[in-house]
Structure 1
């Protein structure tokens, strides 16, 4: 999500989106990794809690209790249970499986703590195995329970639905209701009815956890992270760089039936297997402008965005960007089995019927954009708003970096935690999510080995420095943000700026060391730095624990490099992280410039 408050011109020039600095004791910021305060209305706030995660990486891997060289008869579930039982001293009956998938470099298992056959919502773990069946990464927020509620509800589910609907100003959407345990910040464990509540007009979408004994709303998961086509090519940022007509831009590996086919139906509109772009409602699509699958609409910058042909140009561009991002990230591991967004998964794993729905020029807001990521099998929802800093207004669907930012929330929320959409919920993890989204927009628009400073959102607000506090830069004077900046930041987008700038420096270091490939979108097999960067970006997501910290995310990158490249980029990565305070001794938001021996 992008936070863009409406300010006067004078105020905007002085302070637009200045990072939020909070002075106060360490206790206030120590909750970054476990808590997040959410304001749901003027009169209702809720502080959500997630037990602190531990995260370990094991380089070339460690054996689990069932490991042997001839491991063909050992299942992933058996290996996972054996390792977790030994590592955490828990019984197999206290482990329930959430999901598994096999990626190119590792096999991943996502599990939850359980009691009396009922899973915990926020006590989870993930184990990654290399192809020698050794464990290479382990994250866990399992807890030692103090008191645990009875597993038999005393509040009927109908009463829980009514409570959640009132508190969250929405309606139960018919998704299956479950019973789950929830660890509270005082160490006690509550039994909850878990209910999806949605308000489409307000753009809200939650999992609500209602105490099954007291009826109190205890916790929420917020799913919203706020052929031929005439489009703005994805490597361009803003429409002033020029539209082009692209012929058959789809990737036949990632989208084998093209962008407009679902099952046996070929749609002659902005709808297909990976995405649907509409305005107002799902029936308001852009149809081909001439022959089948030709979408040629010339945007008129002097006319209002909601007039023809500008609406069609916006739907076409958003459809193209989301499909292109689907295809690029598919090549790098965001596949059906890895919980991506497709209506037809072609029998390759994961849950289907969840293509991204793109609401272009949504009337629900202004000067913003957001993305809702429910669990695998439910469609992602991107809402793109108009921006009224200029006359005529400008359309976020025609600024590619904003579309890319929002779409990346779907990638990171799905791949962290095994497809739940619920593992970037703490303040620090939410900040990482915002940072990854900016970093992907940065990566996607490079057209050479040069690494210039990157600015997000300059077109929609008509201001050259964009919507962030600093340009993303390798220059410490241009952008002074570093790991210790977390000491003073308590807002997800400001926190995200820190991570995005760190990754900008990682990208620059990899390209300097390994060069740059012009074919990275469709050929992920090269040795160049931009290819390495995106592989590590995506490989690291399923390795890290639910609700990761900056340190967890860094360690997942280091382990991902071992898994894929045998640690060939170890020193390059460590030096880049250390240059922004994330050296080997970084901890508790204190900087370290130290790197491992030999670097």
Structure 2
């Protein structure tokens, strides 16, 4: 007998990055200090590359590398995450630097250790001990000032966000962690504009643009339409950093074969859940509960025509005891008339993406989205909350990615630029684009850190990864090197879709090159994303032309070009440093290829990147980008 259980969906306070399918009006400036001392090393010296041989675990090796490189004590860092990718055997260790016992929130180090125990690369924004010593006295003096209270910090952030201040003192419900109460997180309630019952503030540090340590309050605030992490100075109350975690993109559905109404009719898909990724199916929980509506371990999907993001009283289509999710759909009518079909389509694609990405290494310990993790690592209670036909916006979509253990949120909108209106819930590439923001944000910098794609260039690359994954999911065996792809052709009502150019291997159809980053019009995340996705599109076809095509996207063990490319890209996300650039992300993809296919396709990748100006000599100096078509010797 199937029973319907109640899956608690309380929204938890924490710190998220926001990405949308297209550019939208920016009400808020999101920013973070630019760190000039950022390091990414793949050319490891022999004495460093072999450092792990002396140690019992990758964590020990990573700490040794950090202490020896920066002359730090082990007490001056903390392990934020550690896992070994089953796909490559590479271990990924993520460290955070500490000062005076408190985190430096933008001092991160990721160390990648090969199966043989050798350090293959690391990325870092750590400060060396000598530099910390030079500024320690100043930082200590500043820390002792403590001129800004927790309530002052909350109000400063609220004002910056354009929200009303808390006039009365905020009730403090917790300040108990640690032996020193002054170092404990402070939890307050009743924050104006917050949809969470409680907000936690922690005393930490940030490295400023000038390389100094700024004592700050760190707090996350979730409002009705955003989820941000702010850092507020403890000395003058200014907002030092602000990062948004919102990423603005039997089942009768638009499946992979027909991913939108523009590609054909819906398909009746039977038992699509992958048992390895979803052992209880898409509706079952480990306690025996089987939901008969659009709920399960990976995602909970509901309509949100009111636009209030509340779960109670909303429509969740019910498939009954037989779990048959087939609902009427008349595209000539307003989308509100077929909300059940829209919710089912969004539920289907979120689950499919969960299961496919699982094959490629987006597993529990890597920070994937699951309510229960079955003891396989990572933090649970973070299934995706997917809202279909959200009434608080149009012509867009977004995804919010908080750290592991807190639920990602997807919001899909209706597009009003066509007549009749068209629903983004029915176009797979829009859903894939949005969900992939969760993938890239959880993998870059480790699942505990959602702030590693917050620079302009890195944020743009997040948009590019989302686009190229949408393409990879839709490639067909009949496609060729000369096939072009659009993003959002159905919802836009235009064959060219939502982007300025089609993704194409033709320099006439799409002339993008690396140096186009110099164009002021490209200093916007979606336009940057188009440039990055076009480079990856060249990689996709260079790989398919050489290694062939795999029709089964689940088959991550395939040696075909499209599946290998997906493995390279996803493992590159794990290998690259926090806030990567085109160059460091390229190098991470090349490094992933070396680990997965031992350099067999090194020249294939280099030639593809070089075609679009990201060759060996490509450089970025003082925001001036220089293209290069040079490839390594031997290629």
Native 8 Å contact 1:507 1:529 kept in 2: yes
2:194 to 171, 183, 205: 171
Which secondary structure does the structure 2 equivalent of 1:306 belong to?
helix
Does structure 1 residue 577 correspond to structure 2 residue 562? no
Distance 1:185 1:337, change over 3 A: same
1:205 to 204, 227, 233: 227
Distance 1:305 1:236, change over 3 A: same
Cα distance in 2 for partners of 1:133, 1:97 equals: 18
2:180 paired residue number: none
1:487 paired residue number: 518
User: Greater shift after overlay, 508-517 or 148-157?
Assistant: 148-157
2:39 paired residue number: 54
1:303 to 324, 328, 333: 333
Consecutive unaligned residues of structure 2, counting only runs of 5 or more, are 1-18, 164-192, 305-309
Q: Aligned-pair distance for 1:239?
A: 1.5
Q: How does 1:123-134 map to 2 (within 5 A)?
A: 123-134=107-118
1:555 paired residue number: 587
Cα distance in 2 for partners of 1:565, 1:579 equals: 22
Cα distance in 2 for partners of 1:81, 1:289 equals: 51
Q: Aligned-pair distance for 1:287?
A: 3.0
1:190 paired residue number: 214
Distance 1:526 1:4, change over 3 A: closer
2:139 to 138, 148, 163: 148
Native 8 Å contact 1:171 1:199 kept in 2: yes
Distance 1:62 1:542, change over 3 A: farther
Cα distance in 2 for partners of 1:449, 1:592 equals: 33
* 1:372-418, Cα deviation, whole Å (9 max, x unpaired): 00111110001101111122211000011001100100000000011
Cα distance in 2 for partners of 1:303, 1:60 equals: 64
1:592 paired residue number: 628
Native 8 Å contact 1:288 1:296 kept in 2: no
2:167 paired residue number: none
Cα distance in 1 for partners of 2:45, 2:237 equals: 48
Distance 1:235 1:404, change over 3 A: farther
The alignment of Structure 1 onto Structure 2 pairs a total of residues equal to 556
* 1:208-227, Cα deviation, whole Å (9 max, x unpaired): 1111222222111210121x
* 1:24-78, Cα deviation, whole Å (9 max, x unpaired): xxxxxxxxxxxxxx9545xxx464323142211148986457533xx6x613322
Structure-2-length-normalised TM-score: 0.84
Cα distance in 1 for partners of 2:195, 2:299 equals: 25
2:503 paired residue number: 472
Cα distance in 2 for partners of 1:94, 1:335 equals: 30
2:446 to 418, 436, 445: 418
Q: Aligned-pair distance for 1:259?
A: 0.5
Does structure 1 residue 540 correspond to structure 2 residue 572? yes
Q: Aligned-pair distance for 1:187?
A: 2.2
1:87 to 47, 58, 69: 69
Cα distance in 2 for partners of 1:97, 1:290 equals: 46
Q: Aligned-pair distance for 1:291?
A: 4.1
2:437 paired residue number: 409
2:186 paired residue number: none
* 1:326-357, Cα deviation, whole Å (9 max, x unpaired): 00000000000000100000000001010111
Structure-1-length-normalised TM-score: 0.89
Cα distance in 1 for partners of 2:52, 2:565 equals: 32
Consecutive unaligned residues of structure 1, counting only runs of 5 or more, are 7-37
Native 8 Å contact 2:618 2:626 kept in 1: yes
Does structure 1 residue 270 correspond to structure 2 residue 300? no
Which secondary structure does the structure 2 equivalent of 1:261 belong to?
coil
